[in-house]
Amino acid sequence: MRFNKEILCSVYGESNRSLKRFQQLSEQYKNAFNSGKMEFFSSPGRTEIVGNHTDHNGGKVLAASINMDTIGAAYPNNSEIIEIISEGYRDKIIIDITKLNDVPANQGTISLVAGIVKAIKVFGFYVSGFNAYISTEVISSAGVSSSASFEMLICSIIDFFFNQNQLNPIIYAKIGQYAENNYWNKASGLMDQMACAVGGTILLDFSKDIEYQKIDFDFSKIGYQLVIVNTGKGHADLSSVYSEVPKEMSMVANCLGVSRLCETSLNNLLSECSNIHNSIRNDRAILRGIHFFNENDRVQKMVKAIAECNEEKIVNVIAESGRSSCEYLQNCYDISDYSEQKINLCLALTETFLKEVGCGACRVHGGGFAGVIMTVLPIGYSSEYIHFMSRYVGKENVYPLNIRQTGATHLELQV
What are the pLDDT digits (tens) for 307-329?
999 999 999 999 999 999 999 99
Q: Looking at the predicted structure, is the pLDDT value of residue 119 above 80?
A: yes
How high does pLDDT run on average in the chain? 93
Distance separating alpha carbons of residues 196 and 47, to the nearest angstrom? 9
Do the domain assignments include residue 125? yes
Neighbours of 365 (CB within 10 A): 25
Is residue 278 domain-resident? no
CA distances from 219 to 37, 78, 325, 383 (A): 39, 45, 21, 16
Residue 397 domain-assigned (yes or no): no
CA trace torsion 356, 370, 172, 183 (10° rounding):
180
How many structural domains compose the chain?
Answer: 1
Which CATH number does the domain housing residue 20 bear? Answer: 3.30.230.10
Judge contact between 69 and 138, C-beta under 8 A. yes
pLDDT tens-digit profile of 373-392?
999 999 999 999 999 999 99
Position 115 in a domain: yes
Q: Is residue 138 part of a domain?
A: yes
The more confidently predicted of residues 163 and 104 is 163
Establish if 223 belongs to a structural domain: no
Confirm whether 136 is domain-assigned. Answer: yes
Degrees to nearest 5, angle at CA 353 with 350 and 357: 130
pLDDT band at 269 (very low <50, low <70, confident <90, very high): very high
Compute CA 79 distance to the chain's CA centroid, rounded to the nearest angstrom.
32
Contacts of 217 (CB under 8 A, 6+ apart): 64, 201, 306, 403
Whether 69 shows a pLDDT value over 80: the answer reads yes
User: Rounded to 5 degrees, what are φ and ψ at 395?
Assistant: -60, -30
Tally DSSP H helices, then E strands, for the chain.
13, 12
Using CA atoms, how far residue 42 sits from 48, 66, 407, 411, 412, in Å, is: 20, 12, 8, 7, 11
Between 118 and 369, whose confidence is greater? Answer: 118
Which pLDDT value is given to residue 139?
72
Its domain, for residue 126, covers 5-215+405-411
**Which one, of 180, 189, 162, 148, lies nearest residue 47 by Cα?**
148
> Which of 152, 154, 158, 186 minimizes the C-alpha distance to 172?
152
On the CB side of 162, how many CA atoms lie within 13 Å of its CA? Answer: 22
Reply yes or no on whether the pLDDT at 239 is more than 80.
Answer: no
What is the rounded distance in angstroms from the CA atom of residue 337 to the CA atom of residue 198?
36
> Coil, strand, or helix at residue 100?
helix
- In angstroms, the CA 179 to CA 335 distance is 28
Lowest average pLDDT, out of 133-142, 197-206, 208-217, 250-259, goes to: 133-142
Q: What is the pLDDT of residues 328-371, one digit of tens each?
A: 999 999 888 889 899 999 999 999 999 999 999 999 998 888 88
Is residue 288 within 8 Å of 252, Cβ to Cβ?
yes
- 340 within domain boundaries: no
